[in-house]
Structure 1
Amino acid sequence: MIKRYMASAILITCCLMITAGVIVPSADTDKAFSRRVNIASSLYGFSPASLDTLGQDEREAMKWLYAYMQTPDITAYAPEFFLANVRSSLKAKEEMPWGKSVPEREFRHFVLPVRVNNENLDMSREVFYNELKDRVKNLSMRDAILEVNHWCHEKVTYCPSDARTSSPLSCVSQAIGRCGEESTFTVAALRSVGIPARQVYTPRWAHTDDNHAWVEAWADGKWFFLGACEPAADLNIAWFNAPASRGMLMTTKVFGPYDGPEEILKTEPLLTTINVTSNYAPTGEIKVCVTDSKGNPASGAKVNFCIYNYADFFPAATKTADRDGMASLSAGLGDVVVWATDGEYYGFGKGNSSAGIVEIRMDKRKDYSGSFELDIVPPSQSGKLPGVSEDAEKRNICRLAEEDSIRTAYTSTFFNKEMSQPVASRLGVDSERLAKVLIDARGNWKMILRFIGDCSQEERDRALDLLCAISEKDRRDISEEVLTDNLMNTPVMNHPLYVDYVLNPRVENEGLVPYKAFFTAEISPDMADAFRRNPSYLVAWTASNISIDTLGNPSGLRMDPRAVWRTAQADPLSRNIFFVSVARSIGIPSRIDPVTSKTQYAGESGEWIDARFDTAGDERKADLTPKGDLRVLYTPEGRLENPRYYSHFSISRLNGGVPVQLEYGEGSGLKEIAADGVRLDCGEYMLLTGRRMADGSVLARGELFNVAENRETAVPMVIRDDPDALSVIGSLNAENIYHDKATGADKSILSTTGRGYYVLALVKPSDEPSAHILNDISAHRDDLEKTGGKVLLLFGSEGEMKRFNFDAYPSLPATAVFGIDNDGASFRELKNSLNLSGEERPLVVVADSFNRVVFATQGYTIGIGDRLAGILSSLSEVK
């Protein structure tokens, strides 16, 4: 994490290099700068006069950045930080051969900004430029983009993790990142050498339960796409070509007001969201007419265009109905759920671009209950990979293997379990706990080991408590400053909630900063004591003293809680994080509830009490939120004894007529959540279930109901299915030969699987879709083993199998077998039999020893483990 500068005034130095006309000043920018600069002035002494001694390009670039910078960035990073990054951008523009050919608009929006997503900002731009400049300076712009991505692959590879986005330098230290982090890192690397780049994001796929982020880079007047840290032989080639062709909506966020050629989806004072779906998929216009309960146009209604994903109607885009009640969205050629509300009344229905104008009547309100069923169909696949020569593909594969070895050489220096026992003995701490935190820390392990070693013997167990309380990702990038702050400045208490909700600095997905010493110094002992005696006073104080800023943070960045104190303003989420941070600093157990996202503190008996900032005038009364009970009535059907949250069902509360999904733990089942009923706040709710079919379509069912105070509400759960969905769709010769990894011999599929049904998955190494398939199969290990069916996992060649990291998947079913599809025979046969249009892997089928294929899915698919277990279980009597 970058050090937060605390300088009282910007350090003005002479401009080292000037390039005329980088940013064209405008009256709008001047006005916006004047409005935003006051925030920086109060914290850092930064003012318009601070720019006077800078060169023209530096001055205009700084003015433009501050004019459209979001409040959390203005308050967390000093002007020196942004000036250093401006100078690095101008240096790249001057020294890179393509620098002066980049138009002002593309430079302003897609090179100059430091921020890409919601990551912690750092000085990666300078570091990356020094590493990359000589590597790309003699290349064309297109080849430079490819080369930067190869460099990124040397540093980072895919690994799923939580929603917080690590900084680019942290990704290099960890050598891993989820797609949002890989793309943030790659955009930062491209911008460091003056290449315009942006992160493209599909908020939700329509055909499978997940989302994805990748990169677009500008070269010679055109935007190209690439898989971040996944170099291909050419641009516009990636594993997600086919999934993207089935996408409903793909967007990118642009810093400041934007006048480019793309469709503008949303314009805010500091941010523009543009729609780039047509770059990847056929699109059409979904037109909606919203009316009130009497059939009159509902001008001003909020219209959410929702994609079914993770058992949720996810609002991918939000529009406002015009005076005629009309709203529209350019999107892919599939179904969306349109949900409209005026804050009290609501209505919903299915829409797509071929349906003409869809009428949504808002005739439901909080007293409504009832059920509905929707068959939701995603777009069909239409993507075609651009052709590359066989030699180019082979050269790229060789480079990928070389880059894997470079990264592996680095990660081999990380802490491992064999090192833990002697180190634990020397430090006098538990070996298992020490190994856990240091292995999780990856490239951060030496700092964490130093931190533990610097603690006194008496403090080391509490230090390990702290390190076990934070998230796995936190261990990878937390700073020693934050660890020391929490260990030294957290009150020591004998309380069952102490470690997780007082000692632990992590509140939500904010960047961790050393806030406890700060609040201990700022809050007087008498004030802290009053808050501890009655935490509702802290709620009332926060409501009275922190004003809500609804415009300064459109990206939902998490504001540094110290800056919230200094500026006395924040968006609602940052205000809530601030409250919890202050509470923990003075010894009050507090949290943001992971299920409901409500801010809470612990009462005297350890019960969680809601912090109601909206009724701060009578907090002790307002804290007692009325509650009732929900009982879900479910009769197990076949194998599905314990439906999974997000996979099969979810519960949403209707806030202002809009469903907001409750965030129960991933992997939780109905029995874990509501075996004996579940206690909920009173209000309106929706139980949504869905069955994802092989073609990506969903059989959805919703139940709308109310939870009344101190009453039990019984709601039936029905998970729809299509008994005719499984039929013979192709063939695969069970006598096909593959090379068995375990025996080293060539064998027939039948000799391994025996009689009956089995799973055959043709996978690739270092491939995100294949990783998802293998993780899903691992997650359903027990279910798959119970079926007895073999899971045959085949690579395309010996080289692919050698590149595969078998240690990354320790939980695959005991029935799993690895091997090589000799000469690609099984893949070719399936391609012809199933009429597949491309060479895309992974390809997963369920087949039997009589050469029949009854299920197939190709490419990027989430939730396949559950689906395979269900199919094998239902077919078990056929064996």
Structure 2
Amino acid sequence: MKTLVRLLLVPFFSVLLFSCSESHFLKEEAYRNQVLQDFEQKQQALPDGNLFAILSGDSLSLSEREALMFLYAYMPIGDIADYPGEYYLGNIRLSEQARREMPWGKTVTDELFRHFVLPVRVNNENLDESREVFYGELKERVKGLSMKDAILEVNHWCHEKVVYRPSDARTSSPLASVKTAYGRCGEESTFTVAALRSVGIPARQVYTPRWAHTDDNHAWVEAWADGKWYFFGACEPEPVLNLGWFNAPASRGMLMHTKVFGRYNGPEEIMLETPNYTEINVIDNYAPTGKAVVMVTDADGQPVTGAKVDFKVYNYAEFYTVATKYTGADGQVSLTAGKGDMLVWGSKDGKFGYAKLSFGKDDKLVLALDKKEGESYALDLDIVPPAEGVNLPEVTPEQRKENDLRLAKEDSIRNAYVATMMTEERAKNALAKFNLSNEDKEKMVKMLVASRGNYRTLLAFMELATVDKKEEFALALLQQLSAKDWRDVQLIDLMDYLIETPDFQKLGVQASAELVNPRVENEMLTAYRCFFNSAFPQKEVESFVEEPSRLVEWCKKEIKINNELNSQRIPISPVGVWKARVADEKSRDIFFVAMARTFGIPAQIDKVTGKVQYMNKEGHTIDVDFAESTPAQAATGLLRATYKPIRSLPDPKYYSHFTLSKFKDGVFQLLNYDEGDADMGAGTTWSNLLKNGTQLDTGYYMLVTGTRMASGAVLSKVTFFTIEPGKTTTVDLVMRESDEQVQVIGNFNSESLYIPVSNDSLSTAQSLLQTCGRGYFVVGVLGVGQEPTNHALRDIAALGSDFEKWGRKIVFLFPSEEQYKKFHAAEFQGLPSTITYGIDMDNSIQQQIAKSMNLSNQNILPMFIIADTFNRVVFVSQGYTIGLGEQLMKTVHGL
């Protein structure tokens, strides 16, 4: 093997030795030697598929060879197997072109360039040709600007293309986001980083793995200019840098991370080093911090080397790991974090231990691995997040006005593009030529409208399916896909599934959703059925169908598992796994299911447990364990939970109030039940999951519950229990409550004036007292189109019927008439009818709330209060808060 690797490297070494006149891409000799060593190890680990062929060419410059070597040394497996070398060479040349042509090219150091400009990948998105496209659009727009102004300008351009809207966890590529014209924060930031890198500006995606004071997480962008990193909200242009709606919540953050491509030796604290990336901690840029040392010991108090230490934040009703470290010979690890509480979990060899750690108060924690699987007990944990301490850069009224005008113009540019997309009427007209039933036409209309800028792909697919007389199958296939798939799937991939339709009747199995669906999990859709059907002799395929366990054995024999080479767990395409013959476990699982479905074997990855399963000829579901010799049906038991309702919560919801996790290898892994439409109150609850019982695989489990207080603090309860074969286990689901009664926390003048809006026309000014009458009421000041306001309105809409029953008035105010005109209540279905809309004249109510409630900054929206006509305030919330509707109702129930 080593001889082969050396032979493959001969062209590289020849250039290295005999092209001394050429300039190096990796100029530091020590770093260059390290990269060479890492590259050689990567080649040894991936000997199949001729994956590094691009380096055997003799037309590359020394700099290009070293740049390719650097990229290949640290790429995840999928990026090597799924994209040709010519793709990366093209991106190298484009990045060097931008470096030459942009005025700041010479000020960007080699280290910054190789880690924050050259790499194509930002997150887990599908790679595309965005660097070339974006550079073509942006170079003339920014080349005459300073670096900081160029960053602001690129973000304005991004806002022309994309605006925020929540979507599923798979990250669309930058070009797909442009085609869609919206994306969640992870997609907006991926898109914006790609745009900045295209013009040679170092950029990175920064994220909080989870907020400490509220559920959810967030991602944004940092860009480097003139020796310093600056942050901003992607596709959310502000007049200056270091400003975004998230300044306040970020000041309450526990950790802020970014993944840096390759080995990185920058000034930031290193969180984790992997064969693909270096994870660094940038929390010091956003919040006050404290550093703590964790000493892990065994039950006898002796230091434990190599123990895994997970630092966990309470979020979405689980203790979520935001950082993982491993103890050294002294049994210690350290971490810098925001000044709040985390749960620290240590584990090794099946033993574990845990304790709460308060950063800023505790500088050391001794953690004993004295717990073991099978113990049943419960404990209470009170979790306190960091306090808010935001500092905002100054923005003049003139800067704000100019920025608002630009935003309005950019909205109009984007909206003009959106207006070209399918409406229901256009979709019906486009489908008139197809011989579809009315019911099927309604389904197709829905898909075409939801496909946004990708509707031509879906129409072309249906036209080709009509030629083959496979309209019914094509429609069934499209219905199995997600809305995001409709927005970014390519025709070539859809056609692969259409051409290689399994003969269900011949196979003797019913055409199930598993067989029709080309998607296995969260991977990007790619063509694989034609490939696999031609890769295996027919007799071998028939043997797999006759006994699917033979396909399991084939995968165990042919696919080598190497999780380290895909540290980010970005799914490798099924064909990529075939070529490399090396994969991480998750990509291997997707590969198995894809092959099974291709051959007509119903198979899936269970959404709750993550187990790989197939259905045998007898119709039994068989669990696949690639570590075991024989697949089998898992033994199960029944879990029931009792619940004594608290006043404000008749039916706790999964992810909002409780979660279940199963023990494996010293840690608990979350069971991923359906959350439904998280913004509209659907999904898994106590009553439909645990009240009457649910079947679980036997094993050791953890139930976590939590009550989030308005302050962001959490009253949590953790219960450990065991599920035994054929038996019923009953536990108590307890939602802890605060003993504190609702308190008056401030004053607000109920006779404050505003301008009501009725049928889009302004009325004469009136007081809140006139609108609301005597008693309690809610006032909200909204920031239209901003993510925190969108979340708040969806939370309130999810509990719209509860607010209707309460019957008191809700007044939603806008800072200006222009802001009101941008608001569309139809986007938030379920908002209660008790809402009155209005304009806050001269922002007087906004300023009054900020002053009377001692809010740190009057410009952070949204603001909400519950007050009464005796001018007493009993609830206040500002900025980014998930679950606002529930917090409001808790207060209402306590009145």
Does structure 1 residue 469 correspond to structure 2 residue 475?
no
Find the residue that maps to 2:637 and give its secondary structure: strand
Partner of 1:170: 176
Alignment of 1:409-448 (within 5 A): 409-429=416-436, 430-448=440-458
CA contact (8 A) 1:789 1:872 kept: no
C-alpha displacement at 1:220, in angstroms? Answer: 0.8
CA contact (8 A) 1:765 1:805 kept: no
Does structure 1 residue 312 correspond to structure 2 residue 318?
yes
CA contact (8 A) 1:129 1:192 kept: yes
Alignment of 1:68-217 (within 5 A): 68-217=74-223
d(CA) in 2 for partners of 1:829 and 1:496?
68
- Tell me which amino acid in the other structure corresponds to 1:848: D
Partner of 1:4: none
Q: Which moved more, 1:215-224 or 1:21-30?
A: 21-30
Q: Which moved more, 1:755-764 or 1:479-488?
A: 755-764
Match for residue 821 of structure 1 among 829, 840, 844: 840
Partner of 2:470: 459
- Tell me which amino acid in the other structure corresponds to 1:23: L
C-alpha displacement at 1:591, in angstroms? Answer: 1.2
Find the residue that maps to 1:273 and give its secondary structure: strand
TM-score normalized with structure 1 length: 0.95
C-alpha displacement at 1:325, in angstroms? Answer: 2.6
d(CA) in 1 for partners of 2:603 and 2:655?
27
d(CA) in 2 for partners of 1:782 and 1:295?
55
Find the residue that maps to 2:627 and give its secondary structure: helix
CA contact (8 A) 1:225 1:236 kept: yes
**Distance change >3 Å, CA 608–CA 852, structure 1 → 2:** farther
Find the residue that maps to 2:241 and give its secondary structure: coil
Alignment of 1:318-717 (within 5 A): 318-353=324-359, 354-429=361-436, 430-456=440-466, 458-493=469-504, 498-604=511-617, 606-615=619-628, 617-619=629-631, 623-666=632-675, 667-717=683-733
Q: Which moved more, 1:30-39 or 1:289-298?
A: 30-39
CA contact (8 A) 1:290 1:362 kept: yes
d(CA) in 1 for partners of 2:576 and 2:203?
30
Q: Which moved more, 1:189-198 or 1:863-872?
A: 863-872
C-alpha displacement at 1:492, in angstroms? Answer: 4.2
TM-score normalized with structure 2 length: 0.93
C-alpha displacement at 1:503, in angstroms? Answer: 1.1
Residue by residue over 1:118-167, the C-alpha shift from the partner in whole angstroms, topping out at 9 and shown as x without a partner, is: 00000100000000000001000110000000000000001111111100
d(CA) in 1 for partners of 2:55 and 2:428?
59
d(CA) in 2 for partners of 1:813 and 1:579?
48
- Tell me which amino acid in the other structure corresponds to 1:782: S
d(CA) in 2 for partners of 1:419 and 1:740?
37
C-alpha displacement at 1:91, in angstroms? Answer: 0.3
Unaligned runs of 5+ residues in structure 2 are 1-11, 16-20, 676-682
Does structure 1 residue 23 correspond to structure 2 residue 23?
no
d(CA) in 1 for partners of 2:592 and 2:255?
36
C-alpha displacement at 1:469, in angstroms? Answer: 0.7
C-alpha displacement at 1:198, in angstroms? Answer: 0.5
d(CA) in 1 for partners of 2:566 and 2:401?
46
- Tell me which amino acid in the other structure corresponds to 1:360: L
CA contact (8 A) 1:40 1:74 kept: no
**Distance change >3 Å, CA 758–CA 498, structure 1 → 2:** farther
C-alpha displacement at 1:75, in angstroms? Answer: 0.5
Q: Which moved more, 1:837-846 or 1:216-225?
A: 837-846
d(CA) in 2 for partners of 1:49 and 1:710?
59
C-alpha displacement at 1:612, in angstroms? Answer: 1.1
**Distance change >3 Å, CA 721–CA 604, structure 1 → 2:** farther
**Distance change >3 Å, CA 639–CA 498, structure 1 → 2:** farther
Match for residue 864 of structure 2 among 841, 844, 860: 844
CA root-mean-square deviation: 2.2
**Distance change >3 Å, CA 542–CA 46, structure 1 → 2:** closer
d(CA) in 2 for partners of 1:76 and 1:197?
25
d(CA) in 2 for partners of 1:872 and 1:607?
50
Partner of 1:834: 853
d(CA) in 2 for partners of 1:751 and 1:491?
68
**Distance change >3 Å, CA 297–CA 40, structure 1 → 2:** closer
Aligned-pair identity (%): 47
d(CA) in 2 for partners of 1:607 and 1:473?
32
d(CA) in 1 for partners of 2:104 and 2:804?
57
d(CA) in 2 for partners of 1:98 and 1:639?
57
Find the residue that maps to 1:443 and give its secondary structure: helix
Find the residue that maps to 1:99 and give its secondary structure: coil
Find the residue that maps to 2:594 and give its secondary structure: helix
d(CA) in 1 for partners of 2:777 and 2:606?
43
Residue by residue over 1:520-560, the C-alpha shift from the partner in whole angstroms, topping out at 9 and shown as x without a partner, is: 11122222222222222222221222110122111111111
Partner of 2:252: 246
CA contact (8 A) 1:497 1:589 kept: no
CA contact (8 A) 1:40 1:75 kept: no
C-alpha displacement at 1:692, in angstroms? Answer: 0.6
Match for residue 735 of structure 2 among 689, 695, 719: 719
- Tell me which amino acid in the other structure corresponds to 1:443: G
Does structure 1 residue 855 correspond to structure 2 residue 862?
no
- Tell me which amino acid in the other structure corresponds to 2:259: K
d(CA) in 1 for partners of 2:741 and 2:528?
56
C-alpha displacement at 1:597, in angstroms? Answer: 1.1
CA contact (8 A) 1:19 1:94 kept: no
Alignment of 1:733-748 (within 5 A): 733-742=749-758, 744-745=762-763, 746-748=765-767
C-alpha displacement at 1:40, in angstroms? Answer: 7.6
d(CA) in 2 for partners of 1:467 and 1:727?
54
- Tell me which amino acid in the other structure corresponds to 1:641: P
Find the residue that maps to 2:504 and give its secondary structure: coil
CA contact (8 A) 2:741 2:894 kept: no
Find the residue that maps to 2:123 and give its secondary structure: coil
d(CA) in 2 for partners of 1:506 and 1:781?
35
d(CA) in 2 for partners of 1:505 and 1:252?
32
**Distance change >3 Å, CA 48–CA 537, structure 1 → 2:** closer
CA contact (8 A) 1:689 1:700 kept: yes
C-alpha displacement at 1:655, in angstroms? Answer: 1.4
C-alpha displacement at 1:509, in angstroms? Answer: 1.1
CA contact (8 A) 1:286 1:328 kept: yes
d(CA) in 1 for partners of 2:556 and 2:767?
70
- Tell me which amino acid in the other structure corresponds to 2:732: P
CA contact (8 A) 1:789 1:815 kept: yes
**Distance change >3 Å, CA 852–CA 603, structure 1 → 2:** farther
d(CA) in 2 for partners of 1:535 and 1:817?
62
- Tell me which amino acid in the other structure corresponds to 2:448: L
**Distance change >3 Å, CA 848–CA 298, structure 1 → 2:** same
d(CA) in 1 for partners of 2:240 and 2:351?
51
- Tell me which amino acid in the other structure corresponds to 1:312: E
C-alpha displacement at 1:276, in angstroms? Answer: 0.6
d(CA) in 2 for partners of 1:608 and 1:676?
23
Q: Which moved more, 1:211-220 or 1:760-769?
A: 760-769
C-alpha displacement at 1:643, in angstroms? Answer: 0.4
Q: Which moved more, 1:520-529 or 1:475-484?
A: 520-529
